[in-house]
């Protein structure tokens, strides 16, 4: 077996192994997100009722956050299954980018909910209302246990979705710890202003995270270079391969934040026969896979060939 066939065979074996691993992880990912969705949904309903019962804007503020998480989890669950669809005549890259739609919808809901909470909480700074601190204390304990259990389940996940969802629940745990401490202070001291202060803090915390998510989502939609990819380093590595004279017109972007795409023009030192060209192409794809590129389009050129993209050359 010649070297080009060995390289192509290794890439095929690695690809098959990766697809099998991705399928297993994807199945577990959907299962865990589904469980997290229903857990968060039931607790959010419980939390809304508890917020009205205790007259606590801090708890209602966190309920809005949890409702946003419910929407995010539900959309993640739906779009995670949607992304299984293969490319077709409508979406040639497949349905991976649908996950970004969920992030945008979730961000809008969180912004609207947080603005509502701020409009209700800020007046209470000047006219505090007494909260039912014993109920707040009990709800905080339940909140820490429920969200802590979700974090424990999801922290073993290997997918990015699971890690993001786990981070959401960790934020909820921290919010409930703040509410727990606030309820203890208000139980011993008559300081009802602590509740609206906590709700405003939680609302701004949510808005800060929405800003980060929107910035990341827009970066992907506008086809920005993935943070983990270094085009200059990739160019240097490619130009060190035997048979390559120059690399230009290199573009790289991400479909959904996980699946990265790259196109490149490769100028050859001299024309190559098809078997040698196949070997070079396999080496290029292998190198790009190691740099986090999953989809590659290569155009070969000779030194005396004029690139049609003059500005890129």
Query: pLDDT at position 212, please?
Result: 84
- Which is more confidently placed, 11 or 189? 189
Report pLDDT digits (tens) over 146-184. Answer: 888 777 766 665 455 556 566 667 777 877 888 888 888
Residues 118, 111: Cα–Cα separation, whole Å: 10
- Assign 313 a pLDDT band (cuts: 50, 70, 90): very low
Q: What is the pLDDT of residue 61?
A: 75
Per-residue pLDDT of 115-152, as tens digits, reads: 877 887 888 888 877 778 888 888 889 888 888 877 77
pLDDT band of residue 260 (cuts 50, 70, 90) is very high
Residue 54's pLDDT is 82
| pLDDT per position as a tens digit, 262-302 | 999 999 998 888 889 999 999 999 999 999 999 999 999 98
Domains and CATH numbers, the chain: 21-221 (1.20.1510.10), 231-312 (3.30.70.1350)
Q: What pLDDT score was predicted for residue 173?
A: 81
pLDDT digits (tens, 9 = 90+) for 78-87: 776 776 777 7
Q: Supply the pLDDT for residue 287.
A: 94
Q: What is the pLDDT of residues 61-118, one digit of tens each?
A: 778 777 777 777 787 677 767 767 777 888 887 777 777 777 777 778 778 878 877 8
pLDDT digits 0-9 by tens, 197-236: 887 887 888 788 888 888 888 898 898 999 889 999 999 9
Rg (CA), the chain: 26
The CA–CA distances, whole Å, from 24 to 17, 33, 159 equal 11, 14, 11
Torsion-angle region of residue 292: left (phi > 0), alpha (psi -120 to 50) or beta?
left
pTM of the full predicted structure?
0.68
Q: Find, among 39, 48, 49, the residue nearest to 74 by Cα.
A: 39
Cα→Cα distances 293→26, 221, 259, Å: 19, 17, 7
CA atoms within 13 A on the CB side of 224: 12
- What is the distance between the alpha carbons of residues 264 and 297, in angstroms, rounded to a whole number? 7
Report which of 76, 208, 185 is spatially closest to residue 137, judged by C-alpha positions: 185
pLDDT at 157: 55
CA 115 to chain centroid: 24
Give mean pLDDT, residues 256-260. Answer: 84
Within a 10 A sphere around the Cβ of 185, how many other Cβ atoms? 12
């Amino acid at each position: 077996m010649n070297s080009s066939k060995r390289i192509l065979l290794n890439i095929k074996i690695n690809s098959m192994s990766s697809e099998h691993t991705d399928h297993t992880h994807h199945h577990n990912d959907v299962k865990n997100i589904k469980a997290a969705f229903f857990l968060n949904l039931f607790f959010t309903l419980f939390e809304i009722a508890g917020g009205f019962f205790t007259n606590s804007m801090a708890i209602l503020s966190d309920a809005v956050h949890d409702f946003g998480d419910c929407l995010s989890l539900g959309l993640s669950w739906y779009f995670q299954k949607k992304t299984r669809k293969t490319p077709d005549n409508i979406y040639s890259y497949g349905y991976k980018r649908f996950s970004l739609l969920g992030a945008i919808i979730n961000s809008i809901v969180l912004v609207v909910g947080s603005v509502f909470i701020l409009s209700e909480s800020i007046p209470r700074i000047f006219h505090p209302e007494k909260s039912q601190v014993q109920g707040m204390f009990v709800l905080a304990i339940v909140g820490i246990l429920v969200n802590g259990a979700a974090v424990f389940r999801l922290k073993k996940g290997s997918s990015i979705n699971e890690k993001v969802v786990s981070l959401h629940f960790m934020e909820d745990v921290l919010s409930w710890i703040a509410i727990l401490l606030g309820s203890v202070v208000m139980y011993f001291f008559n300081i009802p202003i602590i509740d609206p202060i906590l709700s405003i803090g939680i609302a701004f915390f949510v808005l800060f995270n929405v800003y980060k998510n929107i910035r990341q989502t827009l970066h992907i939609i506008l086809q920005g270079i993935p943070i983990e990819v270094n085009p200059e380093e990739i160019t240097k590595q490619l130009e060190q391969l035997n048979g390559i004279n120059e690399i230009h017109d290199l573009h790289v972007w991400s479909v959904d934040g996980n699946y990265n795409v790259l196109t490149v023009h490769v100028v050859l030192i001299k024309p190559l026969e098809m078997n040698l060209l196949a070997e070079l192409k396999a080496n290029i794809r292998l190198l790009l896979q190691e740099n986090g590129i999953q989809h590659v389009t290569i155009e070969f050129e000779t030194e005396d060939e004029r690139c049609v993209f003059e500005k890129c050359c």
